[in-house]
A and B are shown apart, each in its own frame.
Chain A
């Protein structure tokens, strides 16, 4: 059954192409229709587009990913790539599987590089909406961690935090510095989630921080460290 389904639109395309070639009368009309057809999402095209980067595998790997980024004109470490991965619900950083690709790109209605490029602004805009940002932020943890580990290793964590909070949270540089000197080697999910909460609710002078609150010890230590640092 699926093959026949796939063939149908392809056959339709041919018919349309023939029609336009033979029927000059409808040319003007047709060209706009063709434009519409091109703009309309095609699973087949999406699939072909996927294999442009995946090669013979059923997954876009590091090399393909590099080329993909180049094509859509985005640095691999750009935050928009994280949003895209989130939209694709990609499980592993640096990889898009066929399934993720098809499902995700379908939801974005993208089957070409160009269409995706036009969607980037939309993706960026998702970051400005707090609820979405929170989902992306939480997603980032699982996305970035080694799948055989429960926690995120510190280097990756610092990068991801920089990506997500670097521009919006004025205390990020200090926090980064704190992590640098701390003995922590990993960050667990609970700590990760609470860093966002912290960045959103705690004043820059930390005046509304409650040591007896539910904050993870990591943040207690950060606050203590920062206060001592300011005293000195």
Chain B
């Protein structure tokens, strides 16, 4: 409602005013007669004739003063005003032209100082730099004075470069584009970089300034970068060739790493950051990419043999930078595992230590994958495949060791990955010896069946077991806890005459060793009685302690095997280079019967695998010729198998109606659903 009333009010007011004015005009007309006086026009204010010229003269002087680095006679405010006045007087065009001319003359004059031949490269660069710095400073000053011109006339004319850009253009044309100056400048810069690369300290701020200049003048890419990359390329190409010959691989890798860091630093400090990518790519290519295979052939085996963790980490990082690097590392990694593994597996003399060595080897490669290869899954997979491959190399040899091995491998595997048997940890503080007990709970059924063996444990251990049992059964009622003494192991602190050691031993070994806390010499029968360990098991245990590599016990009489009546005493003179020593339990010799069993099991197991593979393939392909089926099988099966064995399995499957031979073409099989 409100706006409307207001509007009405306005209208009325307007009407009213009109009426009033009108009436007064009418009233005055007849009364006053006025005389009209016409005055002369006042003359428009005129600039003095020579104003433009005089003013320019002032400005010119000022510019000259700036260029020669002398003091300016006029006050800067005045000069700025002068420029503004001239622009208002529409002489901007002339003013800009005149300014440009003055600057150009000055630039032309600059070139002379670079004509002297004698200047050495570094001094020359400094001179160029000085000239450039002066130019910049001067142009800033000049632009400040001519700011009004820059902001009005120049801005409105898109074709004209700003005063600053005009300055750059003149500098480029008259100074840097001079053939001699340009060549000397670029060569000088490259020389300085080369010096720095060879280890000399150089004036980096000079380099930064000059390269900044080239960027500002838009000459960086064309006149500098191309040549710089070319030089870099040939430098590192020859350096790579040379150092690959001269240096060991780890040393070489560290060198490459250092080079990469240096070049990155170079980009940060004085190069244009657009150079980063091509520069690093160039270093990577010449120092790494060209030598990928050679580096691995020359050094990988040693590095892995010697377990050089930090070097391997570096190698992985470097190889991950270049295309195809990881792939080739992966191949060599697989080869290494296969070769090393085979060397353990194939040598029949090593059968005794084979299992332990393989487990140690597996630990080692796991560690390398975790630490050096950042748990990269590809490396894990290749490791697994390679293990499969070399294990199966031993297929034609007695299978029983592999049987054991596979079994242990499986256990280990299960232990670490599949079934996280959880560990519980108890420490008994009351005892002075302070025993710690760690328990692994293994769910039955997931694990091979172990026959529980009863042995006599020391009271302290029994006590801990009881504590644990109470705890565990309290937590999980209705479960049964069974101690597997065959799987137990311990770390014992041992004090010999000269040395203190930690012994990593099995539970059985522990029981035997603990006896020597109580006395100095025991017969075989004493020990058997006290520990309750089964006869042959005990013999092997004693053998490992008294006849193995680390003999912490003495045996009387000395011989390789443990006989009834042998006497054992603590070897106080024991010496060893390591502080913690692992004493391996001696591997049980399999009986002939067991060997046959294991062979049979392995064979059976493989038959199932072959059958499964055949059925899988046939199910997918429905119809397949014999040769294709066989080659497909060789692709899928990881263990060596003779063509004849495959045929037997195929025939067996035909006989069992899993598949049939084509009635007409006997080389073709059909899958029977």
Interface residues in chain A, defined as those with a beta carbon under 8 Å from any beta carbon in chain B: 150-151, 188-191, 193-194, 197, 212-217, 220
**8 cross-chain CB contacts under 8 A:** A188-B654, A190-B655, A194-B661, A212-B643, A214-B667, A214-B669, A217-B647, A217-B648
From the candidates B643, B655, B669, name the one contacting A189 in the complex (CB within 8 A).
B655
A194 nearest in chain B by CB position: B666
B625 nearest in chain A by CB position: A214
Q: Are A220 and B666 in contact (CB under 8 A)?
A: no
What residues of chain A lie closer than 8 Å to B648, measured between beta carbons?
A: 217
Q: Is B651 an interface residue (CB 8 A)?
A: yes
Q: Are B666 and A197 in contact (CB under 8 A)?
A: yes
User: Residues 637-653 of chain B: 1 if any A CB is under 8 Å from the residue's CB, otherwise 0?
Assistant: 00000011001100100
Interface residues on B, range: 10 to 19
Given contacts A190-B655, A216-B647, A220-B647, 14 further A-B contacts (CB under 8 A): A190-B654, A194-B661, A194-B666, A197-B666, A212-B627, A212-B643, A213-B626, A214-B625, A214-B626, A214-B627, A214-B668, A215-B647, A216-B651, A220-B644
B652 nearest in chain A by CB position: A188
What residues of chain B lie closer than 8 Å to A213, measured between beta carbons?
A: 626, 667
Within 8 A of A (CB), among B513-542: none
What residues of chain B lie closer than 8 Å to A216, measured between beta carbons?
A: 647, 651
Q: Are B644 and A217 in contact (CB under 8 A)?
A: yes
Bound Cα distance from A191 to B651, whole angstroms: 8
**Least Cβ–Cβ distance between B275 and chain A, in angstroms:** 61
What residues of chain B lie closer than 8 Å to A190, measured between beta carbons?
A: 651, 654-655, 661
B654 nearest in chain A by CB position: A190
What residues of chain B lie closer than 8 Å to A217, measured between beta carbons?
A: 644, 647-648, 651
What residues of chain A lie closer than 8 Å to B661, measured between beta carbons?
A: 190, 193-194, 214
3 A-B pairs with the lowest CB-CB distances in the bound complex, closest first: A214-B626, A214-B667, A190-B654
Residue from A193, A212, A214, A216 whose CB has the most chain B CB atoms within 10 Å: A214
Q: Are B666 and A214 in contact (CB under 8 A)?
A: yes
A135 nearest in chain B by CB position: B663
Bound Cα distance from A150 to B648, whole angstroms: 17
**Least Cβ–Cβ distance between B645 and chain A, in angstroms:** 9
**Least Cβ–Cβ distance between B651 and chain A, in angstroms:** 5
User: Residues 594-633 of chain B: 1 if any A CB is under 8 Å from the residue's CB, otherwise 0?
Assistant: 0000000000000000000000000000000111000000
Bound Cα distance from A220 to B647, whole angstroms: 10
**Least Cβ–Cβ distance between B376 and chain A, in angstroms:** 40
What residues of chain A lie closer than 8 Å to B627, measured between beta carbons?
A: 212, 214
**Least Cβ–Cβ distance between B642 and chain A, in angstroms:** 10
**Least Cβ–Cβ distance between B211 and chain A, in angstroms:** 70
What residues of chain B lie closer than 8 Å to A212, measured between beta carbons?
A: 627, 643
What residues of chain A lie closer than 8 Å to B667, measured between beta carbons?
A: 213-214
**Least Cβ–Cβ distance between A132 and chain B, in angstroms:** 14
Residue from A151, A189, A190, A220 whose CB has the most chain B CB atoms within 10 Å: A190
**Least Cβ–Cβ distance between B615 and chain A, in angstroms:** 16
B664 nearest in chain A by CB position: A134
Bound Cα distance from A216 to B646, whole angstroms: 10
Bound Cα distance from A150 to B647, whole angstroms: 19
Bound Cα distance from A88 to B647, whole angstroms: 36
B666 nearest in chain A by CB position: A197
What residues of chain A lie closer than 8 Å to B644, measured between beta carbons?
A: 217, 220
Bound Cα distance from A150 to B669, whole angstroms: 20
Bound Cα distance from A210 to B464, whole angstroms: 70
A151 nearest in chain B by CB position: B655
From the candidates B625, B643, B655, name the one contacting A188 in the complex (CB within 8 A).
B655
What residues of chain A lie closer than 8 Å to B626, measured between beta carbons?
A: 213-214
From the candidates A150, A188, A193, name the one contacting B666 in the complex (CB within 8 A).
A193
Bound Cα distance from A215 to B669, whole angstroms: 12
Bound Cα distance from A191 to B648, whole angstroms: 11
What residues of chain A lie closer than 8 Å to B666, measured between beta carbons?
A: 193-194, 197, 214-215
What residues of chain B lie closer than 8 Å to A188, measured between beta carbons?
A: 651, 654-655
Bound Cα distance from A216 to B651, whole angstroms: 7
Bound Cα distance from A188 to B654, whole angstroms: 9
What residues of chain B lie closer than 8 Å to A150, measured between beta carbons?
A: 655
Residue from B643, B648, B654, B666 whose CB has the most chain A CB atoms within 10 Å: B666
Bound Cα distance from A30 to B317, whole angstroms: 111
What residues of chain B lie closer than 8 Å to A151, measured between beta carbons?
A: 655
What residues of chain B lie closer than 8 Å to A197, measured between beta carbons?
A: 666
**Least Cβ–Cβ distance between A125 and chain B, in angstroms:** 23
Bound Cα distance from A216 to B647, whole angstroms: 7
**Least Cβ–Cβ distance between B62 and chain A, in angstroms:** 101
Bound Cα distance from A37 to B332, whole angstroms: 91
**Least Cβ–Cβ distance between A153 and chain B, in angstroms:** 15
What residues of chain B lie closer than 8 Å to A191, measured between beta carbons?
A: 651
Residue from B643, B644, B648, B651 whose CB has the most chain A CB atoms within 10 Å: B651
**Least Cβ–Cβ distance between B611 and chain A, in angstroms:** 16
**Least Cβ–Cβ distance between B223 and chain A, in angstroms:** 69
What residues of chain A lie closer than 8 Å to B647, measured between beta carbons?
A: 214-217, 220
B646 nearest in chain A by CB position: A217
Bound Cα distance from A191 to B655, whole angstroms: 9
B659 nearest in chain A by CB position: A190
**Least Cβ–Cβ distance between B650 and chain A, in angstroms:** 8
Bound Cα distance from A150 to B654, whole angstroms: 12
Bound Cα distance from A216 to B661, whole angstroms: 11
Bound Cα distance from A197 to B667, whole angstroms: 11
What residues of chain A lie closer than 8 Å to B643, measured between beta carbons?
A: 212
Bound Cα distance from A214 to B650, whole angstroms: 10
Bound Cα distance from A162 to B648, whole angstroms: 26
**Least Cβ–Cβ distance between A193 and chain B, in angstroms:** 7
**Least Cβ–Cβ distance between B576 and chain A, in angstroms:** 57
What residues of chain A lie closer than 8 Å to B669, measured between beta carbons?
A: 214
What residues of chain A lie closer than 8 Å to B668, measured between beta carbons?
A: 214
Bound Cα distance from A151 to B669, whole angstroms: 20
**Least Cβ–Cβ distance between A192 and chain B, in angstroms:** 11
B665 nearest in chain A by CB position: A214
Bound Cα distance from A212 to B634, whole angstroms: 14
B655 nearest in chain A by CB position: A188
A150 nearest in chain B by CB position: B655
What residues of chain A lie closer than 8 Å to B651, measured between beta carbons?
A: 188, 190-191, 216-217
Bound Cα distance from A194 to B669, whole angstroms: 13
B629 nearest in chain A by CB position: A214
A218 nearest in chain B by CB position: B651
Bound Cα distance from A217 to B642, whole angstroms: 12
**Least Cβ–Cβ distance between A4 and chain B, in angstroms:** 44
Residue from A150, A188, A193, A217 whose CB has the most chain B CB atoms within 10 Å: A217
User: Residues 478-504 of chain B: 1 if any A CB is under 8 Å from the residue's CB, otherwise 0?
Assistant: 000000000000000000000000000
Bound Cα distance from A214 to B660, whole angstroms: 12
What residues of chain A lie closer than 8 Å to B655, measured between beta carbons?
A: 150-151, 188-190
Bound Cα distance from A213 to B667, whole angstroms: 7
What residues of chain A lie closer than 8 Å to B625, measured between beta carbons?
A: 214
What residues of chain A lie closer than 8 Å to B654, measured between beta carbons?
A: 188, 190
What residues of chain B lie closer than 8 Å to A193, measured between beta carbons?
A: 661, 666
Bound Cα distance from A212 to B666, whole angstroms: 13
**Least Cβ–Cβ distance between A200 and chain B, in angstroms:** 10
**Least Cβ–Cβ distance between A180 and chain B, in angstroms:** 21
Bound Cα distance from A62 to B627, whole angstroms: 47
Residue from B625, B644, B668 whose CB has the most chain A CB atoms within 10 Å: B644
Bound Cα distance from A220 to B666, whole angstroms: 15
Bound Cα distance from A220 to B643, whole angstroms: 11
**Least Cβ–Cβ distance between B324 and chain A, in angstroms:** 37
Bound Cα distance from A220 to B651, whole angstroms: 13
Bound Cα distance from A87 to B654, whole angstroms: 27
Bound Cα distance from A56 to B170, whole angstroms: 132
Within 8 A of A (CB), among B50-76: none
**Least Cβ–Cβ distance between B108 and chain A, in angstroms:** 90
Bound Cα distance from A170 to B392, whole angstroms: 44
**Least Cβ–Cβ distance between A92 and chain B, in angstroms:** 22
Bound Cα distance from A190 to B643, whole angstroms: 18
Bound Cα distance from A150 to B656, whole angstroms: 9
**Least Cβ–Cβ distance between B320 and chain A, in angstroms:** 44
**Least Cβ–Cβ distance between A225 and chain B, in angstroms:** 14
**Least Cβ–Cβ distance between A33 and chain B, in angstroms:** 47
